[in-house]
Chain A
Amino acid sequence: MDRTTRPAGRLSGVSAAFDGTRLTLARHLAGLKKIQLAQLIEMTPASVTAWENNSKKPTATNVAKLALALEVEPQFFAPGSEADAVVSAPHFRSLRSTTQTAQDKARAYGTLVGQIGILLEKSVEFPPLNVPSVPLSPTELSPEGPEEAARRTRSQIGVPEGPIANMIRLVEGLGVLVVFSAPDTASIDAFSMEVGSRPIIVLNPNKNDYYRQRFDVAHELGHLIMHADSEPGGKIAEDQANRFAAEFLMPAEEIEQYLPRTTTERGWDRLRQLKEHWGVSMQALLFRARALGRMSDVSYRNAMMRVSANGWRRAEPGNVAVVEMPSLIPRAVEVLEAAHVSVADLVRGPGLPMPVLELVASRTPNHVQAMRETPAASPSGVVAALFRTEDAGAPD
């Protein structure tokens, strides 16, 4: 893709049809504050604010500067049908440990994924949207709510008895877009949101744990099923999503009798066996055993001390070394390319940088990590920000 050709005609057109929300999106993706962007293009923060809230239009020159600084094509700022999609607030795990900039960036990334989805959907058919809705108040404690929601979901979508064969494939079958996040947003755990009517789950590429990633996906599915219409809550909503995931992956009725009461004698052997059979971590099983009253608090504490002592908090032993991988967007790209539809052209239309599409369309987190090496045209832009590793820090 030729990033340097920017015909003046196109620029002036873009200047006339400039959508401030697109600028906010690009700025958030680049992880920049308004003042930082203003410095980069040698303008005042007030101008950036005015452009973003659509009270003023930037000149063609300033559109070019913005495009250059943010590493997007000028037409990225043009309003498009996909840009009108309503974006829900994302469900983040722990808001206390993430900065506003990181949250904005993650939300912008999710928005972009949704918009790419909308774009692709013009040419391909995704599985029909079929996420059940079992609304639950994210601010009130509910004795059986999340578990009941999980049971209803299993029965409604026809999950057979036993383990979920593949969590990502299951949610994709319900029409959910699943992607890995950019390396730079990896401090934010998996999260979910909706763009238009399309639910999205963004996974952390650094987790690299098959069992825990399955739990993450089930947790986010819980948010989409229980909290779609409510503002993201705090601890209660998170707890509800965890309880949903536990019941969804390990139905009490099917697992309770097999959970060990203690970890003495063959308890650990049993946990290892259950871990492989149900595709969940031993720590999730221990928590489940305690939650179901199968294991006493003392036994649970002792077991967790042993987990820590063995270094299993960070890396549990397990037989499966690869994680589940998304297929929906990668498949869509393959289908289009097989039909000789240029995906590059498709994204060039709304001015998306190609590396960002590659990131969104990647099947594996490894691929995402390999792309950290992608040379960025600008040290401040979207590509640089998404592919920079976190320890490299943000631009000043």
Chain B
Amino acid sequence: MSEETEKIEQLESAGVLSLFRWAGASVFVRVGQDYDEAAGHGQQVVGMLSYTYLRDRLERATSCGRFALPYDAAPDSGIDMLRDGITPDDFARMPRFEPGAIVRRDLNGSPAWALGDCRWVLQSFEYGRVDHIYWPEKSDTKAQVSRQPFEGIDTPLFEVEEFGLESVPVVTIDSFGGDTFVLAHAFNRETGAYEMYFGRSRPQEHRNDPSWYWRRRVVSGGPGTTGGIRRPDQPVLPGAPPTPIAPDVDVRLRSRDADGVADGTGD
């Protein structure tokens, strides 16, 4: 079984691909609402918003980061915090993971999540140009991830030792024992379409070198796609949608007299 198949199956069976699909729908509808070209927004804003919201959604669903729980807390503690900041629909559909099922294993300060030995970092890219990502330009961390040793495809016919050469020491990027992948995400500013890819990045020396050993589109949606929520003909409606959850109305004890008995006068 190829690594691609193995990893995708691992993620699917653990519900992680559902998490990505949910997060994608939630994140990019919101990005579409916030994005305002007239105010001077551009690709940088899209990348920043997408990254911020995606990180937020992943943290919510997995009880990591801002939504981490103390080890002895019930999984449902502080559920109002999980609800706050996303739409009631998004909250209702949010896949929920047992705390600890997916954990944060950050890399050089960049947020990264791990399911067992499978870790991923986030990377935004320009919509439609997933195969043109140039890692060295992105960040040292992403470049480092792309240089992880991978024997899945590039297994040489002969080991270097057979030529009497010294083998290159295996590069480990940090103490994490498994492999690190990239969850790449993009939003089309013109149409509102979005896509996310999961894959193993590949080291590049030149801009035209391939970006991936393998990558799989795990999420797509928006206008003109089957997973679409926001369509080009869907306007921004006035006000905010309603919600069945609301704080109680204010009910107070009546003032009491000196004997501690409710006076019942209604004043």
Give a binary string over A71-112; 1 marks a CB under 8 Å from any B CB, 0 the rest: 000000000000000000000000000000000000000000
Give a binary string over B229-267; 1 marks a CB under 8 Å from any A CB, 0 the rest: 001011101111111101111111110000000101010
Write the nearest CB–CB distance from B254 to chain A, whole angstroms. Answer: 6
* Known contacts A162-B237, A254-B238, A320-B88; A339 and B253 CB within 8 A of each other: yes
Check A123 against B249 for contact (C-beta < 8 Å): no
Q: Which residues of B contact A165 (CB under 8 A)?
A: 240, 242-243, 246
Interface status of B79 (Cβ within 8 A of chain A): no
Q: Which residues of B contact A161 (CB under 8 A)?
A: 238-239
CA distance A336 to B88 in the complex (A): 31
Write the nearest CB–CB distance from B233 to chain A, whole angstroms. Answer: 6
Write the nearest CB–CB distance from A103 to chain B, whole angstroms. Answer: 29
Write the nearest CB–CB distance from A316 to chain B, whole angstroms. Answer: 15
Write the nearest CB–CB distance from B192 to chain A, whole angstroms. Answer: 14
CA distance A276 to B243 in the complex (A): 10
Q: Which residues of B contact A126 (CB under 8 A)?
A: 249, 251
Check B244 against A325 for contact (C-beta < 8 Å): yes
Chain B at the A interface: mostly helix, strand, loop or mixed? loop
Interface status of A135 (Cβ within 8 A of chain B): no
Interface status of B9 (Cβ within 8 A of chain A): no
Write the nearest CB–CB distance from B171 to chain A, whole angstroms. Answer: 47
Q: Which residues of A contact B241 (CB under 8 A)?
A: 163, 276-279
Check A172 against B92 for contact (C-beta < 8 Å): no
CA distance A121 to B251 in the complex (A): 10
* Known contacts A160-B239, A163-B242; A276 and B89 CB within 8 A of each other: yes
- Chain B residue at minimum C-beta to C-beta distance from A341: B262
CA distance A341 to B262 in the complex (A): 10
Q: Which residues of B contact A277 (CB under 8 A)?
A: 237, 241
B238's contact among A122, A162, A320, A330, by CB below 8 Å, is which?
Answer: A162
Write the nearest CB–CB distance from B242 to chain A, whole angstroms. Answer: 4
A-B contact count (CB 8 A): 106
Check A162 against B251 for contact (C-beta < 8 Å): no
Check B254 against A124 for contact (C-beta < 8 Å): yes
Check A327 against B248 for contact (C-beta < 8 Å): yes
B249's contact among A278, A328, A336, by CB below 8 Å, is which?
Answer: A328
Interface status of A166 (Cβ within 8 A of chain B): yes
Q: Which residues of A contact B89 (CB under 8 A)?
A: 276, 319-320
Check B249 against A331 for contact (C-beta < 8 Å): yes
Write the nearest CB–CB distance from B214 to chain A, whole angstroms. Answer: 35
CA distance A324 to B28 in the complex (A): 28
Interface status of A384 (Cβ within 8 A of chain B): no
Tell me the A9-47 residues at the B interface (CB within 8 Å): none
Check B249 against A169 for contact (C-beta < 8 Å): yes
Q: Which residues of B contact A322 (CB under 8 A)?
A: 244
CA distance A172 to B233 in the complex (A): 37
* Known contacts A161-B238, A276-B89, A319-B89; A122 and B254 CB within 8 A of each other: yes
Write the nearest CB–CB distance from B73 to chain A, whole angstroms. Answer: 24
Give a binary string over B202-244; 1 marks a CB under 8 Å from any A CB, 0 the rest: 0000000000000000000000000000010111011111111
- Chain B residue at minimum C-beta to C-beta distance from A275: B241
CA distance A270 to B243 in the complex (A): 19
Write the nearest CB–CB distance from A108 to chain B, whole angstroms. Answer: 25
Check B240 against A163 for contact (C-beta < 8 Å): yes
Check B251 against A125 for contact (C-beta < 8 Å): yes
Q: Which residues of A contact B242 (CB under 8 A)?
A: 163-167, 214, 278-279
A331's contact among B231, B248, B254, by CB below 8 Å, is which?
Answer: B248
Check A266 against B240 for contact (C-beta < 8 Å): no
CA distance A323 to B243 in the complex (A): 9
Check B237 against A331 for contact (C-beta < 8 Å): no
Check A125 against B252 for contact (C-beta < 8 Å): yes
- Chain A residue at minimum C-beta to C-beta distance from B233: A266
Q: Which residues of B contact A164 (CB under 8 A)?
A: 242
Q: Which residues of B contact A268 (CB under 8 A)?
A: none
Q: Most B CB atoms within 10 A — which of A164, A166, A323?
A: A166
CA distance A127 to B250 in the complex (A): 7
Q: Which residues of A contact B237 (CB under 8 A)?
A: 162, 258, 273-274, 277-278
Write the nearest CB–CB distance from A369 to chain B, whole angstroms. Answer: 18
List, sorted by A's number, 23 A–B pairs whose CB atoms are closer than 8 Å: A122-B266, A124-B252, A165-B242, A165-B243, A166-B242, A166-B244, A166-B246, A167-B242, A169-B247, A258-B235, A266-B231, A266-B233, A270-B234, A277-B241, A278-B237, A278-B242, A319-B89, A324-B244, A324-B246, A327-B249, A328-B248, A328-B249, A331-B248
Q: Which 7 A-B pairs have the closest CB atoms?
A: A162-B239, A279-B242, A327-B248, A122-B264, A166-B246, A123-B262, A169-B246
Chain A interface residues toward B at CB < 8 A: 121-127, 160-169, 172-173, 210, 214, 254, 258, 266, 269-270, 273-274, 276-279, 319-325, 327-328, 330-332, 335-336, 339, 341
